[in-house]
Structure 1
């Protein structure tokens, strides 16, 4: 079995985890079988490692706030003949320890040892902090 690997991706235009969840609930953000997906121009060269249990870690306003397990990679064509990659995701967003990230384009690979841990079950019931506050607290090492 291949080594596992994750992706990190900017969630452009979202203000928080609830906003990303609402976007993924829209039909246009789903596969024909109803699973959330993210369509990207490039096909990951390390697909086998991603499919060995990897997740996509969502960067919202400069901070990784949540993740979703990657289920599969589907070919996707928007009718223009250009082959794209639909990263098909497990439904539901798993909150993680807020971790600052600089802006980048596209997506980046993320080694499992560098991935932020999931929030404990006790903390998952808490109201989410605003993304800006989470980012500021992560910046000074409080979160």
Structure 2
């Protein structure tokens, strides 16, 4: 499964995201309806939605590390602070935890961006500012195996 592209979506008044159909179908087909919703950024600047089996693979890798590894512990602190296990409902909606919803400015229209094995949900203005602030350089492109 590769999740790719970007689709506009909306956070409703109850804080739920209706996952765009193309992304929902790909996730459900390969992984079921279980999700882990979090942020990797200490400021929670955007939401990451992982199919639960993908997140469990990440956890297995982290479990192989020393429990005193400082980066491992920092990662777990951030992802647990913002994280929640969730389930897609029958209409393809998922609740974004209020703490993360506030930090990531998840209100109204948002962009759902495919990131190969997970989804990113961005406030449009934040996403555009990030793209403009950190343009992809020719050197960086050369470092990619494409």
Q: How would you bin the TM-score normalised by the shorter chain?
A: 0.3 to 0.5
Bigger RCO (CA 8 Å, 6+ sep):
2
More strand by share: 1
More helix by share: 2
TM-score (norm 1): 0.34
TM-score (norm 2): 0.33
